[in-house]
Amino acid sequence: MATQTPSAAQQLIGDVAPKLVQLTDDVLFGDVWERPGLSPRDRSLITVAALTALYRTSQLPYHLRLALANGVTADELVETITHLAFYAGWPNAMSAATALKEVLAEEQPAEEPTTAHAG
């Protein structure tokens, strides 16, 4: 019998809020995110915009990664954040841009160290 990888919610809060994890996994991601009315890409873009506007910085990195995985480009995320600066506030946009920078840095392959040759 194969074991299932714990969800992000399970890893984050499963030990303290198992019902919230169940609702997150089954209802939010199992039902709402799977509805046919919007693509996962569109849902990701909307979610990033809402989290940015509401200054939900702890949830933002996960959803930025998910947006990239769902086909939203880094340039589209930058434009979304820039656009929101005028509607949701400059500090919100600056925090979202900082989070995006960190997420994109994670995505970059680590550069190999160079060695200096004496000669």
- One domain, residues 65 and 98: yes
The total of structural domains in the chain comes to 2
Q: Which domain holds residue 54?
A: 39-107
pLDDT reading at 24 higher than 90: yes
- One domain, residues 32 and 52: no
pTM of the model: 0.84
The stretch 90-110 carries a mean pLDDT of 93
- One domain, residues 44 and 30: no
Q: Give the burial string for 61-98 (b: 16+ CB within 10 Å, else e).
A: bbbbbbbbebebeeebbeebbeebbeebeeebbebbbe
The stretch 32-61 carries a mean pLDDT of 97
Q: Is residue 114 part of a domain?
A: no
What is residue 119's predicted lDDT score, i.e. its pLDDT?
47
Q: Are 48 and 63 in contact (CB under 8 A)?
A: yes
Mean pLDDT of the chain: 91
